[in-house]
Amino acid sequence: MTDKPAQKKLPALKAPKGVPDYVPPVSAEFRAVKEAFALAAHNAGYEHIELPIFEDTALFARGVGESTDVVSKEMYTFADRGDRSVTLRPEGTAGVMRAVIENNLDRGQLPVKLVYNGPFFRYERPQAGRYRQLQQVGVEAIGVDDPALDAEVIALADRCFRSVGLTGYRLELTSLGDASDRPAYRAKLQEFLRKLPLDEETQRRAELNPLRVLDDKRPEMQEMLVDAPLMLDHLSDQSRAHFETVTGYLDDMGIEYVINPRMVRGLDYYTKTCFEFVHDGLGAQSGIGGGGRYDGLMAQLGGQELSGIGFGLGVDRTLLALEAEAKSAASGRRVDVYGVAMGAEAKQKMVPLVDRLRAAGVAVDMSYGDRGLKGAMKGADRAGALFALVLGESELEQGRIAVKDLQAHEQQDVALDSVVDYLVERLRG
Ligand code: HAM
């Protein structure tokens, strides 16, 4: 006998900090939310775009803005083995614009309307609703500066949230002006800020990106900023008309909003219409989605002078909002049909039957191992199935199968060779 050295139990590994797993049953909610958002976008004519998870670091530095927290503090940036600086995408808009330019989508029919989804990465301090890997569904509508498009994008975000049953949120709206009215406002704001007793870091921010100072949450700062000039009061006639047309469309669609002239978006590319969806059940991380116009971004990334507008909806936070409202976006049904075979011979018939049902487009699972009827029926129940197919010795003998309607608590014996058609028909009805 050889002595085996005692194996030390290895510690279990954990996911990195701030990176959520979505496992059943919550993963069904996750999928339902993502699919509902994407469906709403497809229904409005948006086409799917699949983007790289990492890009050249320069894309985000140039597109999102060096002075933003996202770029200056939160990016996952590293040198790859070829010593190129690459970054895990912190957001989707810059990547979409890069892909649109690179693939000449902007040379065709405008607007280009695209929808995407997936993970984004920001090295933020993790807390409830704030993750380092976050999930978004986003849309971008590129190439036409029409307030009707702003209204469409905002209404679409609202429809996305409604489609999963959310109600406890509000839409906040403002206009950040455009390249013609922003510099004058910026100077006015800086003039105001220079007169305040600001700490050194805030002074620096006031020079670099004065709009961001308005977002300082410290009570003493908010007090000092009460009389700060607001962009919304300094819009050019053109920007004002654009904004009023957008709000007019929203009124016509019956979409409620509040004007928040102090809104500060965390990314630098925004112009004109900006919006956020805020949910009251989430505590500090209350933004469930946001977006706006970014009329200079394409040129900034080396493309044409084309405008754009879009949004990013937070899937993680939508799940938390659903939980706060005690609502579910998922059906709770894993499959429609569940097969239960009693004995080896029955199983031999059940395996190909399940396969034929799947080929006919029926969502079906079956009981594995030898669980006994009670245990197997529990499996059918847990799967949320509408029908259980029970195949035992007596059914086998007659070439039939018992179809149990688990909602109506009724049972019917059906010939084995017609059960696929029978179920397809019942499920259609
Ligand atoms: P954003 O406001 O930075 O915009 O992010 C959009 C949404 O993503 C937020 O409202 C929030 O729900 C979610 N989110 C952001 N950071 C986190 C985090 N650390 N943890 C969990 N959820 C988070 C953008 O990303 C823009 N690209 C949206 C856009 C598209 N604007 C125009 N087009």
Element (H, E) at 338: strand 337-341
Task: Return the pLDDT at 76.
Answer: 98
**181 ligand 1 Cβ < 6 A:** no
Reading the chain (429 residues) residue by residue, the pLDDT tens digits are 556 677 889 999 999 999 999 999 999 999 999 999 999 999 999 999 999 999 999 999 999 988 888 998 999 999 999 999 999 999 999 999 999 999 999 999 999 999 999 999 999 999 999 999 999 999 999 999 999 999 999 999 999 999 999 999 999 999 999 988 989 999 999 999 999 999 999 999 899 889 889 888 899 999 999 999 999 999 999 999 999 999 999 999 999 999 999 998 888 899 999 999 999 999 889 999 999 999 999 999 999 999 999 999 999 999 999 999 999 999 989 999 999 999 999 999 999 999 999 999 999 999 999 889 999 999 999 999 999 999 999 999 999 999 999 999 999 999 999 999 999 999 997
**65 ligand 1 Cβ < 6 A:** no
Task: Return the pLDDT at 4.
Answer: 67
Determine how β-strand 258-259 pairs with β-strand 169-175: parallel
Q: How far is the centre of ligand 1, averaged over its atoms, from the C-alpha of 78 (Å)?
A: 22
Q: In what order do the strands lie in the sheet with 47-48?
A: 47-48, 112-121, 133-142, 308-314, 287-293, 271-279, 169-175, 258-259
Q: How far is the centre of ligand 1, averaged over its atoms, from the C-alpha of 320 (Å)?
A: 15
Distance, in Å, from the CA atom of 429 to the CA atom of 417, rounded to the nearest integer, reads: 21
With the most atoms of ligand 1 within 8 angstroms of its CB, the residue from 112, 115, 134, 278 to mutate is 134
**63 ligand 1 Cβ < 6 A:** no
Task: Return the pLDDT at 216.
Answer: 86
Distance, in Å, from the CA atom of 130 to the CA atom of 124, rounded to the nearest integer, reads: 7
Determine how β-strand 308-314 pairs with β-strand 287-293: antiparallel
**134 ligand 1 Cβ < 6 A:** yes
Distance, in Å, from the CA atom of 156 to the CA atom of 161, rounded to the nearest integer, reads: 9
Q: Ligand 1: which residue has its CA nearest to atom 9?
A: 289
Task: Return the pLDDT at 65.
Answer: 87
Alpha helices in 114-228 (DSSP H): 147-163, 182-194, 200-208, 210-213, 219-224
DSSP 107: G
Q: What is the CA radius of gyration of the chain?
A: 28
**316 ligand 1 Cβ < 6 A:** yes
Q: How far is the centre of ligand 1, averaged over its atoms, from the C-alpha of 288 (Å)?
A: 8
Element (H, E) at 292: strand 287-293
Distance, in Å, from the CA atom of 19 to the CA atom of 172, rounded to the nearest integer, reads: 28
**122 ligand 1 Cβ < 6 A:** yes
Distance, in Å, from the CA atom of 158 to the CA atom of 330, rounded to the nearest integer, reads: 19
Q: Ligand 1: which residue has its CA nearest to atom 2?
A: 290
Contact 260, 174 (CB under 8 A): yes
